Amino acid sequence: MKNRKANVNNNMPSTQRYLDISEIRNDTVILKDGTLRAVLLISSINFALKSEEEQEAIIQGYVSFLNSLDFPLQIVIQSRKLNIEPYLEDLRYKQKKQINDLLKIQMADYIDFVKELVELGDIMKKSFYIVVPYNPMGDKKRGFFSRISDLFLIGTIVRLKSQKFSEYREGLFRRVDKVISALNSIGIKSAPLDTQSLIELYYNSYNPLQSDVQKLNEVDKLSVE
């Protein structure tokens, strides 16, 4: 019975089979259909605090930005509960090192206050991203049978990826530069995520609970079977 269970576990499909991502390298996400993605981290604007003239200028700038695009974009807003524990651990460490008894008591009160504030307020951390795509075959919408045929051409696509990756990546990051420049003109700062940041983003997105307790290693320390 033990051997049978072991065989069943070994034959179970990996969760990677259900993900669209083939690999992440050179600050680029490569999907299984041969298309590429870059992800930009975007700064936020406190729109409510702007004057009416500033708000109108931002809206007009954003409309112009959208009209200038000749390729699709994906805007992603990720909300996660703020993890204050590393900050509290740092405070506890400093509290232990504190030789002044009064300051030590005040630090303990402050730690309790911050912890209670976060628990009661359920404070969320929001991150803003723009996903820039690049399809070597063009951005036209493909039909059902065209997409089905991709399933039988995975080997061909992977080989093509290896030969043409640098060329395709250059085309992708021309789009990235265009997006960064357009966003900068309306006061929004943006920067492309590097390989490590991309891996962490997808790891945290697909493993929201596990990522809080088990942090991901750096890229050069990761091992893939």
Tens-place pLDDT, residues 114-139: 888 877 766 778 899 999 999 887 75
The answer to whether 183 and 15 have CB atoms below 8 angstroms apart is no
At 107, list the tokens: 């630090």
Q: Where are the domains of the chain?
A: 21-80+129-221, 83-122
According to the model, what pLDDT value does residue 140 have? 55
Give the Cα separation of 140 and 167 in Å (integer): 20
pLDDT per residue rounded down to tens, the chain (225 residues):
444 444 434 554 455 666 788 888 889 998 888 889 999 999 988 888 889 999 999 899 999 999 989 899 999 998 877 777 888 888 899 888 888 888 888 999 998 888 888 777 667 788 999 999 998 877 555 554 555 555 444 444 454 456 678 888 999 999 999 999 999 988 899 999 999 999 989 888 887 766 555 555 554 544 443
At 114, list the tokens: 């911050």
Helix (H, G, I), strand (E, B) or coil at 127: strand
Find the helix or strand (DSSP H, E) in which 196 lies: helix 195-206
Helix (H, G, I), strand (E, B) or coil at 23: strand
Q: Which amino acid is at 91?
A: L
For the chain, what is the largest distance between any 2 Cα atoms, rounded to a whole number of angstroms? Answer: 74
Q: What is the pTM of this model?
A: 0.68
According to the model, what pLDDT value does residue 177 have? 95
Give the Cα separation of 119 and 142 in Å (integer): 48
According to the model, what pLDDT value does residue 215 have? 58
According to the model, what pLDDT value does residue 206 have? 80
According to the model, what pLDDT value does residue 225 have? 37
Give the Cα separation of 110 and 35 in Å (integer): 50
Q: Which amino acid is at 17?
A: R
Neighbouring residues of 222: CB distance < 8 A, sequence distance ≥ 6: 199, 216
Q: Which amino acid is at 225?
A: E
Give the torsion through C-alpha atoms of 58, 60, 66, 67, to 10 deg.
Answer: -160
Query: Mean pLDDT in the chain?
Result: 78
